[in-house]
Structure 1
């Protein structure tokens, strides 16, 4: 497992996460681990799945105008 040291974090921010951890009955360290895990970047496969889901919702949407169609509309 990797280790991360983050310097110069605002004390109010740390205290906020410390309180959240206390309410959940876990350590500050575990609260921050959970936060990092929940917000990690998408994998390439996950990005592809999200892209496909968005495109699937867009069916029936009219395609963009061509440059010629735009020019014709301006005349």
Structure 2
């Protein structure tokens, strides 16, 4: 019986395993790219939401006289 699918037999029209691996790899790369872009936008949004910090030095030095 040609084309008969029995126990342990593969159907005639099953997809090529290499193609399914390639598709899985492409989907993984696309998902990783979307995740990376989303993370980048999230980090930028968090940094923009943080209040500006004052730009005051922690240590100041007194200037000595101009002579010497």
TM-score norm. by structure 2 comes to 0.32
Q: Which has the larger radius of gyration?
A: 2
Bigger proportion of residues as helix: 1
Which structure ranks higher in relative contact order (CA pairs < 8 Å, sequence separation ≥ 6)?
1
